[in-house]
Amino acid sequence: MADLQGPGIQSLIGEALRESSDLARKELTLFKAELAANVKTLAIGAAMMAAAGIFAIAALILFTEALVKWLATVVGSEALAALIVGGGMAAIAVGLVLYGRSTMSAASLAPNRSIKSIQRDTQVLSEKVAG
């Protein structure tokens, strides 16, 4: 009877390993399919954002031109109106650049939460080893 149980257990273990391998392969196939779908969705989203950016730039140009023409009727000179509008837009651009540069400082890019978490984990492990 011992001989019957030995091969039976080995065959069960072998079958379990084969099924685990099949399951892992199926999970990997599902992962690849899901990843491909997510990449496709991301690419479509990026293309829509680029198209929106193009339309936004065109709209900004048209609004700027309309503002210059309207201001020209108020100040009596299209050149002066263009200088006023251009100066205002340049001031906005400088403000945005300065704000963007301050938010991208090296200190703000550091992964502070991850560093603190790793330090806590190290401390806990040190206490367990010492204690």
* Mean pLDDT lowest among 32-46, 66-80, 104-118: 104-118
In whole angstroms, what is the distance from residue 26 CA to residue 29 CA? Answer: 5
Number of domain units in the chain: 2
For residues 87 and 121, state if they share a domain: yes
Is 93 found in the same domain as 59?
A: no
Question: What value, to the nearest 5°, has the Cα angle with vertex 110 and ends 120 and 128?
Answer: 10
Average pLDDT over residues 98-126: 78
For residue 6, the enclosing domain spans 1-76
Task: Point out the domain boundary residue: 52, 76, 100.
Answer: 76
Kindly state whether residues 2 and 50 are assigned to the same domain. yes
pLDDT at 87: 96
State the CB neighbour count (10 A cutoff) for residue 89: 13
Whether 67 and 55 share a structural domain: yes
Q: Are residues 18 and 55 in the same domain?
A: yes
14 lies in the same domain as 2: yes
3 and 61 part of one domain: yes
Upper half-sphere CA count for residue 130 (Cβ side, 13 Å): 6
Find the distance separating the first CA and the last CA of the chain, reported in whole Å: 50
35-54 pLDDT, tens digit each: 888 888 999 999 999 999 99
Residues 128 and 10: their CA atoms lie apart, in Å, by 39
Q: What is the pTM of this model?
A: 0.54
- Helices 2-75, 78-103: crossing angle, 10 deg rounding: 150
Asked if 39 and 28 sit in the same domain, the reply is yes
